[in-house]
Amino acid sequence: MASRCILQIALLLSFTTSLSLSYDLLQLQQQQRSSNSACLKLLRQVKGKPEHCQQDRMDFKFPEEIKQPRPFQKEMAALVIQEMLQNIFVIIRKEFSTTVWNKTIVDDLLDKLHQQMDRLKSTILQERPEDTNMTTLRLKSYYWRISRYLTARENSICAWTVVQAELISKFPIINSLTDYFQD
Amino acid sequence: MLASLEAMALVLVAGAWRGSLAAADGKSQKAPETVEVSIIDDVFTLQWNGSQESVGNVTYSADYATSEMDNWIKLPGCQHITGSKCDFFPLINFYEEIKFRVRAEEENSTSSWYYVDPFIPFQKARLGPPEVRLEAEDKAVIIYLFRPGKRDGTSIWDMDALSFEFSLVFWENSSHGEEQEIKTNFYISKMYDLSTETTYCLKAKARLSWKVSAYSPVYCINTTAEHKLLPPENVTFGARNQSYVLTWEYRDVNVTFRAQWLHAFSKLTPWDNSNEWKQIPNCENVRTTYCVFPQSVFQKKEYYFRVQASDGNDTSFWSKEKAVQTEMYSTILPPVVSMKSTNDSLHVFVKAPKKQFDTFTYEIILWENASHTERKLVSKRSDIIIPGLKPLTPYCIKARVLLQDKWNKTSVFSAVVCEKTKPGAAASIPWVIPVIVILLLAVIAFCVMKLLWKCFNYVFFPVFKPPCSIEHFSEQPFGNLLLSTSEEQTEKCFIIENTQSVIIVEEPEETDEDYRKYSSQSSQDSGNYSNEDESLGNQISEALLQLKPQALSCPGELVLGLSSLGLHSS
């Protein structure tokens, strides 16, 4: 009984010390999450007409290995998040049309995405070796398909409504990836 | 003559036969060798070596297939090529695998296909040099960079627009022109403080993760003559109350100014952002060398500002751009503090009134109400427990927000909150661990002491004395020997069986498992009883050693055992 008690104390001590050491990562995680919810709020403000756009839906084939929970190293999780944010930024910047978007909202969204990418670059991704692996390649492929879809449909409201739903549906994945910041 | 004619006819027929045979075969051509695909930016080049044996009019054709389609597609621009290479510009998903096949053709016959190993174009592609456009002012040169690849939205590098890094080499085109090397992520840069009417040259290369391009060709430009109207200088940015103030310096008086702003991230994107600069409200056609605008207009993090002078007819060049991170200047509101006292510690709650920024740290000043010695605490958490305080003492607290990012900006202190600690001698958190350790040691010590006490008792103060038992024996009615299962007396008893084992009949009161084991083990030792008194005494004492002290309190039963012992031994 005595040994059990000591074991419990030892576990508690190690847990609290590891908590205090990784506090910066906890803050980064919180920042990421608040940035995500802000981006989501903005994304939802696309002037879409979802009722009329049912036939335009499409499967863009998001990479399966990111959807399913699997242990990620924190650098890998940050790389995946960075890739996703970059591509979302590029798509919105490249393909947005003023008929569908309010320019102020677009600028707001782009600014938030840019800030978060900067934060990742100056923390976890500082010493990034910068080589593309299969996961980031598949992510790029996914976002390329979305971009082509928008171009082919001339950035119409329906196309943007579909893309808006698609982009929004992937934000919970970004949130769950931030769990891996704690290692 | 007829024979020769016949012979000729035969040869002709044979020749025709052979020809038709060859036509029917269809594979008389040799497949091309060493087919390679190289990609520079958006241009795919297919190159091959024709086989040595082919002569004359051999042409080559190529097909491609992607992982998304099942069949081979004819490669446009690479059908029936007479040379040994062809260029094409496929509109495909550059991040998915692609494969090629090439074959040689001649008239009606074709060779077998040569299949190129599948690959991912994005991985194989190499960077071409970036494009540069220069624009000259009198003392500055604007550098417009264009990433490699097409700019119509179908380039292989489209999705990586943000990730490009450019290395520039800039020099004055004279004998003593030293080279300046600049690394930038911006698609628009500006070189300031140059000489008027001088030639400056630039070359640039692009980098995308590990891919590096070659240097672009050298571009040169002449700076203009000095412009009459000078640009404003020393643009500074500051905050005052709830507004921002942009100030600059200018020598002449009869000019108006206008100021513009730009989102910082605009410089990172290659789309046309020359007209992305926006006019600041209240800063158009002002005569003062400053302008004031509300903070609410600029709520993002990073901006660039520039100012231009105008005298009605002429405008100056733009001033140097001022990069501003509004976080640095905006006033931080103080936090709200509340406290709860628990025993001899204080639980402090700090709440920022409005969630302005995400990277908060709080500085908490604590002091006893009576004395003025202050204790400073820095914490990132918004609820803190301060331990180790004196009980029943009033303490006061005030807090402020620290932005420890790059500038040591702080808010003003919050209102002071005072609270009295509760009485109590309960240990605070850092004392819990030694207390638990002491308790554990106490428990262990107690067990050890108990064990020693038992041993001590067994060895030195056995309750059982042989003469006493014999006396008790005479008191006991004989009936007890027969009724060995009476309830009152069988509480702590034992039976000796076969003179070789001692078995405990009843469950002992204490849960001392070791005792049971001990007795069953040592029962082996009790071995063979002999008739001798000495040995009997030994046996008795051995049997007694196996009993608990309480067991000795039923001497009647013991007598039972003894009698059986005696019976057996005799």
DSSP letters, chain A, are -HHHHHHHHHHHHHHHHHHHHTHHHHHHHHHHHHHHHHHHHHHTTS---GGG-GGG-------HHHHS-----HHHHHHHHHHHHHHHHHHHHHH--TTTS-HHHHHHHHHHHHHHHHHHHHTTTTT------HHHHHHHHHHHHHHHHHHHTTT-HHHHHHHHHHHHHTHHHHHHHGGGGG-
Residues B340 and B316 in one domain: no
Kindly report, residue by residue over B31-69, the tens digit of the pLDDT.
788 889 999 999 999 998 877 665 677 889 999 999 878
Residue of B nearest to A34 (CA): B358
Mean pLDDT of B175-195: 90
Name the least confident of A26-40, A105-119, B84-98, B297-311.
Answer: A26-40
The residue whose two tokens read 């024979």 is B3
Kindly report, residue by residue over B329-351, the tens digit of the pLDDT.
766 778 888 888 877 788 888 88
- Look at A114 and B269 and tell me if their CB atoms are within 8 Å: no
The whole-number pLDDT of residue B135 equals 94
Q: How far is B237 from chain A (nearest CA, A)?
A: 20
Task: Give a yes or no: residue B466 inside a domain.
Answer: no
- Given a cut of 80, whether residue A153 has pLDDT beyond it is yes
- Look at A94 and B153 and tell me if their CB atoms are within 8 Å: yes
CA distance B117 to B75: 16
CA distance B31 to B15: 25
CA distance B160 to B167: 17
The whole-number pLDDT of residue B553 equals 41
Query: Is the CB of residue A95 less than 8 Å from the CB of residue A154?
Result: no
- Look at A130 and B209 and tell me if their CB atoms are within 8 Å: yes
Residues B135 and B187 in one domain: yes
- Look at A111 and B159 and tell me if their CB atoms are within 8 Å: no
- Given a cut of 90, whether residue A123 has pLDDT beyond it is no
Q: B223 or B435: which carries more pLDDT confidence? A: B223
Chain centroid to Cα A58, Å, comes to: 20
Instruction: Please state the φ and ψ torsions of residue B54, each to the nearest 5 degrees.
Output: -75, 140
- Given a cut of 50, whether residue A21 has pLDDT beyond it is no
- Look at B210 and A140 and tell me if their CB atoms are within 8 Å: no
The residue whose two tokens read 């509760």 is B422
The whole-number pLDDT of residue B508 equals 44
The whole-number pLDDT of residue B465 equals 56
User: Confidence class of residue B108 from pLDDT cuts 50, 70 and 90?
Assistant: confident
Q: Which of B162, B327, B384 to mutate to test the interface with A (most CBs of A within 10 A)?
A: B162
Burial code (b: 16+ CB inside 10 Å, e: under 16) for B274-284 equals eebbeebeebe
Instruction: Please state the φ and ψ torsions of residue B385, each to the nearest 5 degrees.
Output: -110, 125
Residues of A in Cβ contact (< 8 Å) with B163: 86
Q: B376 or B411: which carries more pLDDT confidence? A: B376
Task: Give a yes or no: residue B474 inside a domain.
Answer: no
Mean pLDDT of B129-139: 94
B313: burial class by Cβ within 10 Å (0-12, 13-18, 19+)?
Answer: exposed
CA distance B200 to B219: 8
Task: Give a yes or no: residue B280 inside a domain.
Answer: yes
Mean pLDDT of chain A: 80
The residue whose two tokens read 């003593």 is B176
The whole-number pLDDT of residue A13 equals 62
* Half-sphere exposure for B329 (CA within 13 Å, toward CB): 24
> Which three-class secondary structure state does DSSP give residue B25?
helix
What is the number of domains present in chain A?
A: 1
Residues B340 and B378 in one domain: yes
Name the least confident of A34-48, B38-52, B133-147.
Answer: A34-48
Nearest by Cα to B284 from B258, B261, B266? B258
Count of beta carbons in the 10 Å neighbourhood of residue B146: 15
B74: burial class by Cβ within 10 Å (0-12, 13-18, 19+)?
Answer: exposed
Residues of A in Cβ contact (< 8 Å) with B209: 130-132
Residues B197 and B283 in one domain: no
- Given a cut of 90, whether residue B87 has pLDDT beyond it is yes
Residue of B nearest to A147 (CA): B159
Count of beta carbons in the 10 Å neighbourhood of residue B255: 21
- Given a cut of 80, whether residue B419 has pLDDT beyond it is yes
CA distance B93 to A96: 21
User: Confidence class of residue B506 from pLDDT cuts 50, 70 and 90?
Assistant: very low
Residue of A nearest to B154 (CA): A148
CA distance A27 to A49: 37
Query: Is the CB of residue B319 less than 8 Å from the CB of residue B277?
Result: no
Name the least confident of A36-45, B326-335, B444-453, B524-533.
Answer: B524-533
Name the least confident of A7-16, A54-63, B7-16, B25-34.
Answer: B7-16
Instruction: Please state the φ and ψ torsions of residue B349, each to the nearest 5 degrees.
Output: -115, 125
The whole-number pLDDT of residue A2 equals 58
Query: Is the CB of residue B124 less than 8 Å from the CB of residue B39?
Result: yes
Task: Provide the domain limits for residue B61.
Answer: 20-124
The whole-number pLDDT of residue A58 equals 83
- Given a cut of 80, whether residue A7 has pLDDT beyond it is no
Task: Provide the domain limits for residue A95.
Answer: 2-182
Domain end (from B295, B311, B329): B329
- Look at A132 and B380 and tell me if their CB atoms are within 8 Å: no
* Segment B182-187 long-range contacts (CB within 8 Å, at least 24 positions apart): B185/B267, B185/B268, B186/B145, B186/B267, B186/B268, B187/B144, B187/B145, B187/B146, B187/B147, B187/B267, B187/B268, B187/B269, B187/B270, B187/B273
Q: Which two tokens stand for residue B357?
A: 């920024």
- Look at B123 and A137 and tell me if their CB atoms are within 8 Å: yes
CA distance B523 to B404: 76
Q: B470 or B226: which carries more pLDDT confidence? A: B226
For the residues of B108-171, what is the DSSP string, one character each?
A: TEE-PPEEPPPB-HHHH-BPPPPEEEEEE-SS-EEEEEE-SS-SSS--TTGGGGGG-EEEEEEE
The whole-number pLDDT of residue B385 equals 87
Best mean pLDDT range from A28-42, B124-138, B331-345: B124-138
Domain end (from B179, B197, B222): B222
The whole-number pLDDT of residue A128 equals 64
Task: Give a yes or no: residue B434 inside a domain.
Answer: no
Q: Which of A13, A114, A123 to mutate to test the interface with B (most CBs of B within 10 A)?
A: A114
- Look at B300 and A86 and tell me if their CB atoms are within 8 Å: no
Q: pTM to 2 decimals?
A: 0.66
- Given a cut of 80, whether residue A12 has pLDDT beyond it is no
Residue of B nearest to A13 (CA): B433
CA distance B129 to B152: 18
Across the interface, of A115, A130, A137, the residue whose CB is closest to B122 is A137
Q: What is the CATH number of the domain that holds A8?
A: 1.20.1250.10
User: Confidence class of residue B517 from pLDDT cuts 50, 70 and 90?
Assistant: very low
User: Confidence class of residue A9 from pLDDT cuts 50, 70 and 90?
Assistant: low
Q: How far is A24 from chain B (nearest CA, A)?
A: 9
User: Confidence class of residue B375 from pLDDT cuts 50, 70 and 90?
Assistant: confident
State percent of chain B over pLDDT 90: 35
User: Confidence class of residue B253 from pLDDT cuts 50, 70 and 90?
Assistant: confident
- Given a cut of 50, whether residue B559 has pLDDT beyond it is no
Residues of B in Cβ contact (< 8 Å) with A9: 433, 436
E strand or H helix at B445, and its extent? helix B429-460
User: Confidence class of residue B434 from pLDDT cuts 50, 70 and 90?
Assistant: confident
Q: B118 or B28: which carries more pLDDT confidence? A: B118
- Look at A115 and B301 and tell me if their CB atoms are within 8 Å: yes
Chain centroid to Cα B529, Å, comes to: 77
Q: B1 or B548: which carries more pLDDT confidence? A: B1
The whole-number pLDDT of residue A6 equals 64
Contacting A with CB below 8 Å, chain B residues are 93-96, 120, 122-123, 153, 158-163, 209-210, 263-265, 268-269, 271, 300-302, 358-359, 380, 433, 436, 440, 443-444
Round the CA-based radius of gyration of chain A to a whole number and report it: 20
The whole-number pLDDT of residue A94 equals 85
Domain end (from B303, B329, B355): B329
Residues B31 and B119 in one domain: yes
- Given a cut of 70, whether residue B503 has pLDDT beyond it is no
The whole-number pLDDT of residue B450 equals 93
Mean pLDDT of B469-487: 51
Mean pLDDT of B95-109: 89
Q: What is the CATH number of the domain that holds B404?
A: 2.60.40.10
Contacting B with CB below 8 Å, chain A residues are 2, 5-6, 9, 13, 23, 27, 30-31, 34, 86-87, 89-90, 93-94, 107-108, 110-111, 114-115, 117, 130-132, 137-138, 140-141, 143-145, 147-148, 151
Mean pLDDT of B491-514: 48
Count of beta carbons in the 10 Å neighbourhood of residue B258: 17
Query: Is the CB of residue B280 less than 8 Å from the CB of residue B228?
Result: no
- Given a cut of 70, whether residue A93 has pLDDT beyond it is yes
Q: B147 or A21: which carries more pLDDT confidence? A: B147
> Which three-class secondary structure state does DSSP give residue B394?
strand
What is the number of domains present in chain B?
A: 5
Name the least confident of A19-23, B50-54, B434-438.
Answer: A19-23
DSSP conformational letter for B315: B
Instruction: Please state the φ and ψ torsions of residue A37, each to the nearest 5 degrees.
Output: -70, -35
Q: How far is B297 from chain A (nearest CA, A)?
A: 11
> Which three-class secondary structure state does DSSP give residue B357?
coil
Q: Which of A111, A113, A121, A149 to mutate to test the interface with B (most CBs of B within 10 A)?
A: A111
The whole-number pLDDT of residue B352 equals 77
> Which three-class secondary structure state does DSSP give residue B520?
helix
- Given a cut of 90, whether residue B402 has pLDDT beyond it is no
Mean pLDDT of chain B: 78
Q: B187 or A182: which carries more pLDDT confidence? A: B187
SS3 annotation, B412-432: CCCCCEEEECCCCCCCCHHHH
